[in-house]
Amino acid sequence: MPSPAIETESLAKEYPHGFLHLKKKTSLEGLTMQVQEGEVFGLLGPNGAGKSTTIKLLMGIIFPTAGSARMLDKPVSDVSMHREIGYLPEQPYFYDYLTAAEVLDYFARFHGYSGAERGERVERMLKKVGLETAGKIQLRKYSKGMLQRVGLAQAILHDPKLVILDEPMSGLDPVGRREVRDIILELKNAGKTILFSTHILSDAEVLCDRVGVIAGGKLRGVGAPGAIVGMKTVGMEILFELAEGKAMAGKFLATASKSGGGYRLSVAEKELYEALDELSEAGAKIIAVTQIKPTLEDFFMELVGKERAQAAAVEVSGK
Amino acid sequence: MSRVLTVARNTFREAVRDRVLYNLVFFALLMMAAAVIVGQISMDIETVVMISLGLSAISLIGLLIAVFTGVGLVSKEIDKRTLHAVLARPLQRWEFLLGKFTGLVMTLAVNTAAMAAGLFLALLVVKHSLVRGDSVVLVAVFLILLKLMLVVALAMLFSCFTSPLLAILFTGGIYVAGLFVSELRSLQVTNLTPQMQKFFAVISYILPNFGNYDVMGAAAHGRGIAGRLVIYNTLYTLLYCAIVLGAASVIFSRKDLK
């Protein structure tokens, strides 16, 4: 079995704070996870959950208090492995006195490309992220979304095996987000391993093979976006039509809402047949009956809700 | 080495685009004004005044750039987080530091060379000719550049573990203290306790001896500067810079970035 592209073992990070740095704030606690080669893995979590801390630890920007991490079969302290890794920092900021083309050329130099090859790669990347006409403008004149595109371009400039993106959709308009999604899918199809953090759940649901949910510095669950929230049905949805003038009376009919040309009714799974009987008696035409499954968002909100309630309890108790 | 040069080249480009070299305009104006005023004095001291003024200006302007830009070399990259994408390359942190140092030294070398050319031009205006003995000014300029290298290394070291403001104060403080190393050593002959004598002796050898680089008097009066002094100062600077940058690398390599 091939070794994972990313592997962390009880990874933890504490920051000293307070007077004389005597207090410790835990930012990440005992993170053990694996990202397999060729997979798109999403790190989900609210702001301050520990997503960026995890990524910074992997990229050697900060150092762990405990535990270890390996990428592409090498410890993260070995920067030679960065030849095979592309990284987009959160809210990327580059030298604003340079143009996009110059920034990309600067980064390409670290990979030892010849002048001609650098020129070709820079041009190709600018085109890929939709900046081919803005490549000669200094970055100080760029919008946040444009900087994000430059960030993405520099991350994939050297055709890395593993791409780590910290909030890649941040600051982008819907068109930009769609383009970034397409680039991620393109990278996936090219067999790259991708780890990205986000708090936009729809992106994770669309793009990820697996997600890991982090909250309060701890990993709360890992799995396929569908599996992580469980396969349990939380209810049933009935779409039906009812002739005009018919009374919307009854235990279930009274709760139905208008939807397009028909009506929509949500009921508990155990009440399905009772509701169908009532609709049938009322002369309704059943269009569809579907299971309601929890979304990643529901799972996420439940988790964050618990976390906040816990934090509030700690704050109230003063512990 | 190519990675170090890549960082150095970009640091030089940054200095140029941030208009660091605009100080040359100020220097040119100063030299022009001095040439006009000194020309009026005409008491056979024009050359001495011009050289003293020129070398002082080269030293002061260079020091201001070395301290303020030197402190910002690393701290600015950390604050603006431009470092994150750079360190995601196959680049060691010490290579980054060395590249930044080299880039600023390149900038200072170009700046100092341009100011030296301006000084010679002003001398030509005042004296109407240059003689071979004037080349001693070039040696003085070279020693100023060595001094600036050491100041940059110190500024980088302090900026690796403290705030930019404190780093500026520490660098300035060490520079001023370093000008008085000889005086500190001569304290040993006064009535001090043996412990204090030892303390001052140790301090005087730890502090960079910036007094060694001051040959302005000799240059202004056309006295020769011993080749041995130049060689010793060059070796001293290289060794001191290596130690200071080594310490900076150790600190920076363990530093958590924002």
CATH number of the domain where residue A85 is located: 3.40.50.300
Residues B88, A59: C-beta atoms closer than 8 Å = yes
Q: What pLDDT score was predicted for residue A308?
A: 66
Residues A239 and A201 in one domain: no
Q: Does pLDDT of A159 surpass 70?
A: yes
Distance (Å) of CA B82 to CA A90, A149, B71: 11, 15, 16
Residue A303 belongs to a domain = no
Residues A129 and A53 in one domain: yes
Any idea what the CATH number is for the domain that residue A251 is in? 3.30.1490
Q: What pLDDT score was predicted for residue A317?
A: 45
In this prediction, residues A96-114 reach a mean pLDDT of: 92
Measured CA to CA, the distance from residue A233 to residue A269 in angstroms comes to 8
Which chain B residues have a beta carbon less than 8 Å from that of A55? none
**Chain B residues contacting A via beta carbons under 8 Å:** 2-3, 6, 10, 13-14, 17-18, 80-92, 254, 256-257
Residues A202 and A130 in one domain: yes
Residues A131 and A253 in one domain: no
Residue A319: pLDDT band (50, 70, 90) is very low
Lowest mean pLDDT among A137-141, A230-234, B230-234: A230-234
Which chain B residues have a beta carbon less than 8 Å from that of A76? none
Task: Report ipTM (2 d.p.).
Answer: 0.84
Residue pair A228/A221 in contact by the 8 Å Cβ criterion: yes
**Which regions of chain A does DSSP assign to beta strands (E)?**
6-17, 23-35, 40-44, 66-71, 74-75, 85-88, 162-166, 193-198, 210-215, 218-223, 235-241, 257-259, 262-267, 285-292
Domain count, chain A: 2
Low-confidence ranges of chain B (pLDDT < 50): none
Best mutation target, A81, A104, A110, to test chain B (most B CBs within 10 A): A110
Residue A199 belongs to a domain = yes
Residues A125 and A196 in one domain: yes
Which chain B residues have a beta carbon less than 8 Å from that of A94? 82, 85
Lowest mean pLDDT among A47-51, A145-149, A222-226, A296-300: A296-300
For residue A209, the distance in angstroms to the closest alpha carbon of chain B comes to: 25
Work out the widest C-alpha separation in chain A, in whole angstroms: 78
Residue A63 belongs to a domain = yes
Q: Which residues contact B240 (CB under 8 A, 6 or more apart)?
A: B150, B153, B208
Of residues A266 and B47, the one with the higher pLDDT is A266
Residue A314 belongs to a domain = no
In this prediction, residues A84-103 reach a mean pLDDT of: 91
Whole domain around residue A284: which residue ranges? 235-292
> Hey, where are the domains in chain B?
2-253
Given A228, A258, A275, the domain boundary residue is A228
Distance (Å) of CA B236 to CA A21, A143, B219: 38, 48, 21
Of A79, A93, A151, the CB nearest to B91: A79
Of A80, A86, A94, the CB nearest to B90: A80
Measured CA to CA, the distance from residue B47 to residue A169 in angstroms comes to 65
Of residues A309 and B50, the one with the higher pLDDT is B50
Residue A201: pLDDT band (50, 70, 90) is confident
In tens, the pLDDT along A165-195 reads 999 988 788 888 888 888 899 999 999 999 9
For residue B48, the distance in angstroms to the closest alpha carbon of chain A comes to: 42
Measured CA to CA, the distance from residue A211 to residue A228 in angstroms comes to 8
Residues A180 and A253 in one domain: no
Residues A122 and A246 in one domain: no
Q: What pLDDT score was predicted for residue A314?
A: 47
Measured CA to CA, the distance from residue A94 to residue A146 in angstroms comes to 12
Given A228, A246, A262, the domain boundary residue is A228
Which chain B residues have a beta carbon less than 8 Å from that of A106? 6, 10
Residue A84: pLDDT band (50, 70, 90) is very high
Residue A302 belongs to a domain = no
Of B2, B17, B92, the CB nearest to A79: B92
Most trustworthy range by pLDDT among A81-85, A222-226, B218-222, B254-258 = A81-85
Residue A114 belongs to a domain = yes
Of B6, B82, B256, the CB nearest to A110: B6
Residue in chain B lying closest to A91 (CA): B81
pTM here is 0.83
In this prediction, residues A192-216 reach a mean pLDDT of: 86
For residue B240, the distance in angstroms to the closest alpha carbon of chain A comes to: 28
Q: What torsion do the CA atoms of A109, A123, A161, A165 make, to the nearest 10 degrees? A: 100
For residue B93, the distance in angstroms to the closest alpha carbon of chain A comes to: 10
For residue B14, the distance in angstroms to the closest alpha carbon of chain A comes to: 7
Best mutation target, B16, B69, B82, B84, to test chain A (most A CBs within 10 A): B84
Q: What pLDDT score was predicted for residue A315?
A: 46
Residues A93, B80: C-beta atoms closer than 8 Å = yes
For residue A51, the distance in angstroms to the closest alpha carbon of chain B comes to: 14
